[in-house]
Amino acid sequence: MKKLIIINGPNINLLGKRETSIYGTQTFDEYFNTLVNKFPTISLEQYQSNIEGELIDKIQEVGYSYDGIILNAAAYTHTSVGIGDAVKAIETPVIEVHISNTAVRESFRHQSYIAPHAQGVILGFGLQSYELAIQSFS
């Protein structure tokens, strides 16, 4: 059974409340339950933190033993050299995910410190971006 983890960065814990016109009304926990039911042959875990160092710690912790990481570093995508370096340092493949299409948002969101070290990038498909990332590991 493949073992995948979804690692979410800052403010993803506010899904369902935050900017619903961009991110929708469903919480991530609700959506995660949907994913677990949709992919019963994959061991799925999730982790979320608003703290950059905790995200780096989690990437390092799972980066040599899991089959894949789905990483939505949120705003840290565009600011954290440290998270980019953590992704570069590990062996586990990483798919960078974004709920919104960051390419059509503010210009600072066009830079990713993760993408150069990721296996791929999926953005702009709403929460379905996570599902597409899971499918990429199949």
What residue ranges in 74-133 does DSSP mark as E strands?
94-98, 120-123
Q: What is the DSSP string of 13-53?
A: GGTTTS-HHHH-S--HHHHHHHHHHH-TTEEEEEEE-S-HH
Catalytic residue (choose from 31, 76, 98, 130):
98
Q: Which of 85, 121, 95 has its CA nearest to residue 6?
A: 95
| Active site annotation includes 110 | no
Catalytic residue (choose from 23, 31, 66, 113):
23
Q: What own/partner pairs with CB < 8 Å and gap ≥ 24 does 17-20 have? A: none
Q: Which of 133, 138, 136, 137 has its CA nearest to residue 8?
A: 133
Query: Looking at the DSSP assignment, which residues form a beta bridge with residue 72?
Result: 8
Do 71 and 87 contact (CB within 8 A), yes or no? yes
| Active site annotation includes 23 | yes
- The residues assigned a catalytic role are 23, 98
